[in-house]
Structure 1
Amino acid sequence: MLLSAIGGKAQSKVTGAKQPYSAYLFTYFTGDKGGEAIRFALSSDGYNFKALNNNQPVINPANTSSTGGVRDPHIMRGADGRTFFMVATDMNTEKYGWGPDSAMVLLKSTDLVHWQSHVVNVSKTFKEFAEINRVWAPQTIYDPSINKYMIYWSMRFGTGADKIYYAYANKDFSGLETVPKQLFFKPDGGSCIDGDIVLKDGRYYLFFKTEDKGKGIKIAVSDQLTQGYMMIDKYVQQTKSWVEGASVFKLNTGPDYILMYDRYTEGKYQFTRSHDFENFEVVDDLVSMDFHPRHGTVMPITTREAAALTRQWPK
């Protein structure tokens, strides 16, 4: 998420004044069959969330994806403070099972209500990746060094290990303008998926789920966005349950961040809080949701933006 680059405030299109963040938008999907569509929820404190639109989709995947389903939505605010970008896995397990999946969906909006969308099929766009069978959990981050948006995701060839790749989006966020490059792979050769990069104190923290050789969430850290990630060999989830879909967001007040993830074998979500990305405290007793999310992301928003979302999709 681009938090520090926009100074914790959003630019108002109407007045030009800086609007402080006062709420949170949770973007998520709900399950394997019938739940593979983007849904929204709102919170005023980052702990208690209420679904919009009666927990029904806010974007029809039949109109935006090649499979008729999407998973793992990630949302972020652009560097201008008033443009929003969303990416998701183009995947429909009800129709096609667990793959192969070679596409992602790119969406762009200026009001969080109306979205332009484009499908990017990596295997068809880049001949080097014609044999891939997974394009999973894409996310976007702004690269200030070249003023472009970088999309990163997990990708797999055959039965090999999933590795995290990246490429830069084109100017109108309708496709990829660079050939994907490898961003990170697990040193022991195991798979890594569900990457989430957070810029904190000048360093990039890559949260990811390990597969195969040990399962859980670990962090790799670098001073550079596109290279140099060194894994900290420590699981950071605060449960013995299997987890996935790790996502981090900063609270609007104070220095703390929330690391949340799906305890997918139990049908539960867990929230933890940290200020240093070394120690994580479980805060589940503070959390309430009137829905069950699967692999989603949370973005701070303004009072005006929250009101517009509520008018469009009442709680």
Structure 2
Amino acid sequence: MQTYLFVHFREKATPDGEQVYFGLSRDGCHWEAVNGGAPVLWAYYGDKGVRDFTIIRCEENGKFYIIATDLSLAYGMRNQYRHSWDEIGRNGSKCLALWESDDLTDWTEQRLVRLGNEDFGCLWAPDIICDREQGDYVLHWSSSHCANGYGPKGIYYSRTKDFRSFTEPKVLYRKDDSGVIDSAIYEEDGRYYLFVKSEANPAKIILLAADHVTGPYERVESFDRSMETVESGLYEAPTAVRLEDGKWCLFLDYYGVPGEGQGYVPFVAESLKSGEFVRADRAFSFPYGFKHGTILTITIEEYERIKGHSWR
């Protein structure tokens, strides 16, 4: 039996919202909070806040890694960023935050991984996938860059085998007519599928496919058709998981209302190849508004260990 861990943050105006939260599910549909809905890990370095999580189980050493955007709006927007998203985009952290664990309950202290040089803007929304062709892991994220005057963002990537040494960043994907953010890559039947938020033309989530992790990627037009009724400019942060019945559940982060009314909305498809996702709100429940995270498939033993752990 497979169960599910959702690593995420919460949309709150106070610093505790931008920390590490866990949600658990036995079926991928009905979710419960861990630690009474309080953070399970805190960021003490960098911006002292973290957002936009990814988590992976390393096949080589069995460890788990959480990686996140190093950013606190609760502190920074009022302080060094002077109430300016443009200031964050240009001068935000060039690091990502990282934790590691052997068992999903006992985690190392946060450390910062510097991936961007001064040519980069803030590093946003990391995601990671195993590249079995190359025998390593591809960590990717969105960023602005001085090459286009810190204009529309692109998706960049770096490779690692040990989660300590990382290669120099390269471009993974750019869209000719808009910026792209919030990348998430999944493998199905030997092909790779890339979800990204397109910032215009359309201002929606789009899906692309490729034969290799780093592309080249081409649009999956059937996905565009399945998203025709989804409102523009209100969804971001795609994350997906393959359920036990083989179907894929795609969660899109709805930000169309202020405050804690925001959170994930589910869509279900028979396969990534089909690109045909159907909204499925009634089949899912969340205890509160989960924000930008990633779902990891876990065992029932790991589920019980997390649920029964005494978080400090």
For normalisation by structure 2, the TM-score amounts to 0.85
Task: State the partner residue of 2:72.
Answer: 92
Match of 1:307, SS? helix
Q: In 2 relative to 1, CA 235–111 (structure 1 residues): closer, same or farther, beyond 3 Å?
A: farther
Give the aligned CA root-mean-square deviation in angstroms. Answer: 1.9
Structure 1 position 273, deviation (Å): 0.5
Q: In 2 relative to 1, CA 298–244 (structure 1 residues): closer, same or farther, beyond 3 Å?
A: same
Structure 1 position 80, deviation (Å): 4.3
Ranges in structure 2 where 5+ consecutive residues have no aligned partner: 78-84
Task: State the partner residue of 2:270.
Answer: 275
1:135 pairs, out of 123, 126, 133, with 123
Structure 1 position 227, deviation (Å): 2.4
Q: In 2 relative to 1, CA 162–292 (structure 1 residues): closer, same or farther, beyond 3 Å?
A: same
Deviations 1:154-200 (A, max 9, x none): 010243111001001252x1342x10000001132x11000000101
Task: State the partner residue of 2:81.
Answer: none
- Identity over aligned residues, as a percent? 30
Task: State the partner residue of 2:216.
Answer: 228
2:40 alignment partner AA: V
2:237 alignment partner AA: G
Q: In 2 relative to 1, CA 236–104 (structure 1 residues): closer, same or farther, beyond 3 Å?
A: farther
The question of whether the paired residues in 2 share the 8 Å contact of 1:32 and 1:93 is answered with no
Q: Does 1:245 align with 2:237?
A: yes
Deviations 1:90-135 (A, max 9, x none): 0011222241322211222110112234212333xxxxx3132221
What are the equivalent positions in structure 2 for 1:113-192 lying under 5 Å apart?
Answer: 113-116=105-108, 117-123=110-116, 129-157=117-145, 158-171=149-162, 173-176=163-166, 178-188=167-177, 190-192=178-180
Structure 1 position 76, deviation (Å): 1.8
Match of 2:123, SS? strand
Q: In 2 relative to 1, CA 49–313 (structure 1 residues): closer, same or farther, beyond 3 Å?
A: farther
Match of 1:288, SS? coil
For normalisation by structure 1, the TM-score amounts to 0.84
1: distance between equivalents of 2:304 and 2:102? 15
The question of whether the paired residues in 2 share the 8 Å contact of 1:37 and 1:57 is answered with yes
The question of whether the paired residues in 2 share the 8 Å contact of 1:138 and 1:151 is answered with yes
1: distance between equivalents of 2:63 and 2:205? 30
Q: Does 1:103 align with 2:83?
A: no
Structure 1 position 240, deviation (Å): 1.4
2:239 alignment partner AA: S
Ranges in structure 1 where 5+ consecutive residues have no aligned partner: 1-19, 124-128
More strand by share: 1
1:58 alignment partner AA: V
Q: How many residues align?
A: 283
Structure 1 position 308, deviation (Å): 0.8
1: distance between equivalents of 2:71 and 2:23? 22
2: distance between equivalents of 1:265 and 1:235? 21
2: distance between equivalents of 1:313 and 1:264? 32
Task: State the partner residue of 1:211.
Answer: 199
2: distance between equivalents of 1:47 and 1:215? 27
